[in-house]
């Protein structure tokens, strides 16, 4: 069963890139005592993710800030090196935090994993977006397989 509105995010250690290299960051650090938008996707550098999903959040980062969002977090079942390279490619610095769920621990704990093995991708995250306030899910939008609508930046801005 997947996470739902009113549920608390699990405490999980994820990874992100720092000036000194990959470093752990907890969900408590990312989402505690703040309002955040978390969006997750199947993989860095994949077509829809690179052409539409991440760019929308980069483009509208200022609009999210105006609506009281403290952090925009992009999460994928990739490693911190890949997420960092993708962030540089997409110019996310200062706009979207690129967070690696390399082992899929968070994705599995929130019940939003998908089997991408028929595409050679193994276990990945479903495409979704959620609004989180102090670790509690306030809104969640999960895409149907192959779809891209309800987790888009435009849609999430409209439901904030």
| Residue 74 is a catalytic residue | no
Please give the Cα distance from 27 to 64 (Å, whole number): 20
Which positions ≥6 away from 144 have C-beta within 8 Å?
Answer: none
pTM across the whole model: 0.95
H-run or E-run covering 123: strand 123-125
Residues 15, 49, 58, 74: which is the catalytic one?
49
CATH superfamily name and code, 13-145:
Glutaredoxin (3.40.30.10)
| pLDDT tens digits, one per residue of 34-80 | 999 999 999 899 888 888 899 999 999 999 999 999 999 999 999 99
| pLDDT tens digits, one per residue of 85-112 | 999 999 999 999 999 999 999 999 999 9
What residue segments make up the domains of the chain, in order of their start? 13-145
């Amino acid at each position: 069963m997947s996470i739902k509105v009113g549920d608390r995010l699990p405490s999980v250690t994820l990874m992100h890139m720092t000036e000194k290299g990959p470093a752990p960051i907890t969900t408590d650090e990312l989402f505690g005592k703040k309002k955040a938008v978390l969006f997750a996707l199947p993989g860095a550098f994949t077509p829809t993710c690179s052409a539409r999903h991440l760019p929308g959040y980069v483009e509208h980062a200022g609009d999210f800030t105006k609506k009281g969002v403290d952090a925009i977090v992009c999460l994928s079942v990739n490693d911190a090196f890949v997420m960092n390279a993708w962030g540089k490619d997409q110019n996310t610095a200062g706009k979207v935090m690129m967070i690696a769920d390399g082992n899929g621990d968070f994705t599995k704990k929130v019940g939003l994993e998908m089997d991408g093995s028929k595409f050679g991708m193994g276990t990945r995250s479903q495409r979704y977006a959620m609004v989180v306030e102090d670790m509690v899910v306030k809104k969640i939008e999960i895409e149907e397989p192959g779809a891209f609508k309800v987790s888009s930046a435009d849609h999430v801005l409209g439901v904030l």
